[in-house]
Structure 1
C-alpha cells in the first residue's frame, strides 16, 4: 500500500437556478439535515456522518458542479499535495489557508485536468452525529461521486499520478471499449469513478444507507412520491453495492446505495467487467434494463463551471 495524501471524500457542492426547490428536495425527500443557512446557500449534513456537511447547494443563474471536496490527514499533507500539483503545472484556485466554510480547517482548491474545482482539506471540526436507527431511511454518509469526462483515460491518469487514487475495477465492452473506471483513496471500492461521456459533468452522487431494508424503504419512498427513477433497485457487480438512481429537480442523478465493498488493498487486483452482460450491471436482475435512455440521463447537462471557480 502507498502512503496517500488524500484520505476520503467529504462533500459535493451544487449550484442551481431554483435554489428553494433544490433545497427542499434534498431536505424533505432525500433526507439530509440543514446545518447552516444564509440567503441562497445551504449546507446539508448526513445524520450518520462526522463530516460537517455532505452537500452544499448554492443559488446561481446557471446549473453547475461547484466542487468536489476530499479530506487529508494533516497540514503537512495538504501543503505537500499543493506543492506537488504546482510542480506538475496544475492551476491552483487558492493556496493552502484557513477554510472559510462550516467546520473550518486548512485546505486549498485547484482545477483538475477537466476543469472541475477540487478542494482538499484537513482539521475540519468533526460534526456531532448519531447512529442511524433500524428502519430509518435517511443517508448515513456520502458514499461516492462519479464524474463524466470526454477524455476519461486522461482524467483517470490525472487522479492516479497527481492524487494517488488507485484503480479498483473497469467497466468495458467489445463494442464501446472501456467506459467507467472505479478509483479509490482508501479501502472503500471507490470514492470516485470516471465515466466516458460527451462532456464534462456530474454523472451521479451516491449516498450510503444503513442497510438493505433502509435502502429499499428510501427507494420506495421516492418512487411513491413520483420522483423520477432512472435505474434500479438492483446490485452492481463492480463494488457489490446496491443502487437506485433518481433525478433531483435540476436533472442531477443521485443514488441510494448500501454495502459498497471494502477491499484488501494488499491483495486486490482490478477486474475488467463486460457491462454488456446483464449480471454485471445488475447481479439481482431486479432493475429496469440498462439502455441508452438510462445512460443519457447520466450524461447530465454540460457543466457550466469548467475552469471557473465558485464564488464561495
Structure 2
C-alpha cells in the first residue's frame, strides 16, 4: 500500500440538465450556500467547512458525476501521486499544475478504473467559515461519497493500491455475498464507499450536521417541504452514523448524517456485517425497511461521464 498522501474529501461535482432547479434544492432546501457561481456553473459551500465548496453543479445535457475531489498534504505529495499513477498506467486527465477553480491550489485529475474523474489537490485557499450553532440544521461539511460499481472488488483494490485508502468495514448478505466496502483516508470511518451495483453511478453523497438535534431538525424540515425521503431516519451499525436519505430533483440520493465514527487507526480491525440483520442497517429500528424500492433508487441512472473528462 502506498504512503497515506491523501488527507481528506473535498467536494463532489455533478452535471445536471436543470441547473437552476438543482441549485435551488441545494441552497433553499438542503442548506448549502452559493458562492463563486458563474453562467452554467455553481459552487456551493457548507457553512461549517473550510473547503471553498463541497458541491459543484454544472449545467449539461447529460446527468453525470463530473468528478470527486480529495485533498493532499503538499504539492510534492500531489506530484508523487501523479507519478505513481502514471507509472501504473492510469490515465491522467491533466498533469499536476496550478488550478483555476475557486481557491486555486496545485493539483491534477485522472480516471479511476471505471472511468470516474478524480481530482487530487493541495494548497487550496481555506474558505472563511464559522462554527455551526446549536439548533442550526445546515450541513457542516461533506461527510462521504458512495459510488456504485459493476466491479466493486476491482474498484476497492484500485483505491487501496494506488491511493492508500484503508478498509474499515464490509457489508455482506448470505445470498448475494459482499455488497459494500467502507474506505477511509483519515480517522473518519469512511470518506468513500463502494457498493455493488448494476452499473457505475453515484450511490449517494452524505452531509454531516452538527449533532443529533440538528440532524433531526433538518430531516423534519425536508419532510415538511415535501422532499422525497427514501430511507430513514435511523442509525447504521457500520460507521455508527445516523441516516436520512432523500432524492434531489435529478434522482440523485443525498444524505443527512451525523456522529460518523472516528476510528483508532492502530487498533481497528474491519468487521464483516450481515445486513440481512435489520440491526445492521438500522440500530434504532426507526427507519423504513431496506427493500427493493430503496435499492433501485440507490442504483441511480448509469453515469454518462465515464472516461469523459468534464470540460471545466
**TM-score, normalization by structure 2:** 0.99
Structure 2's unaligned 5+ residue stretches are none
**2:63 and 2:174 mapped to 1: Cα distance?**
35
**1:123 and 1:195 mapped to 2: Cα distance?**
31
Q: In the TM superposition, what whole-angstrom CA distance separates every residue of 1:221-271 from its partner, at most 9, and x where no partner exists?
A: 001111010100000000000000000000000000000000001010000
Q: In the TM superposition, what whole-angstrom CA distance separates every residue of 1:26-46 from its partner, at most 9, and x where no partner exists?
A: 000000001111111110000
Name 2:125's counterpart in structure 1.
125
Name 1:298's counterpart in structure 2.
298
**2:252 and 2:232 mapped to 1: Cα distance?**
16
* Contact 2:66–2:117, Cα closer than 8 Å, also in 1: yes
Q: In the TM superposition, what whole-angstrom CA distance separates every residue of 1:115-165 from its partner, at most 9, and x where no partner exists?
A: 000000000000000000110000000000000000000000000000000
Name 2:34's counterpart in structure 1.
34
**1:154 and 1:183 mapped to 2: Cα distance?**
14
3-state SS, counterpart of residue 162 of structure 1: helix
Shift of 1:2: 7.6
Residues 1:14 and 2:36 aligned together: no
**1:302 and 1:218 mapped to 2: Cα distance?**
29
Name 1:64's counterpart in structure 2.
64
3-state SS, counterpart of residue 125 of structure 1: coil
**1:40 and 1:140 mapped to 2: Cα distance?**
26
Name 2:95's counterpart in structure 1.
95
**2:219 and 2:136 mapped to 1: Cα distance?**
12
**1:3 and 1:134 mapped to 2: Cα distance?**
38
* Contact 2:2–2:163, Cα closer than 8 Å, also in 1: no
Name 1:170's counterpart in structure 2.
170
* Contact 2:74–2:122, Cα closer than 8 Å, also in 1: yes
3-state SS, counterpart of residue 23 of structure 1: helix
3-state SS, counterpart of residue 86 of structure 2: helix
Q: Matches of residues 65-214 of structure 1 in structure 2 within 5 Å? A: 65-214=65-214
Name 1:218's counterpart in structure 2.
218
Structure 1 residue ranges (4+ consecutive) displaced by more than 2 angstroms after TM superposition: none
**TM-score, normalization by structure 1:** 0.99
Structure 1's unaligned 5+ residue stretches are none
**1:100 and 1:295 mapped to 2: Cα distance?**
38
* Contact 2:47–2:139, Cα closer than 8 Å, also in 1: yes
Shift of 1:3: 4.0
Q: In the TM superposition, what whole-angstrom CA distance separates every residue of 1:287-306 from its partner, at most 9, and x where no partner exists?
A: 00001110110000000000
Please report the RMSD computed on the Cα atoms of aligned residues, expressed in angstroms: 0.9
* Contact 2:227–2:246, Cα closer than 8 Å, also in 1: yes
**1:240 and 1:99 mapped to 2: Cα distance?**
36
Q: In the TM superposition, what whole-angstrom CA distance separates every residue of 1:39-70 from its partner, at most 9, and x where no partner exists?
A: 11110000000000000000001100000000
**2:37 and 2:272 mapped to 1: Cα distance?**
44
Aligned length: 312
Shift of 1:167: 0.3
Shift of 1:100: 1.0
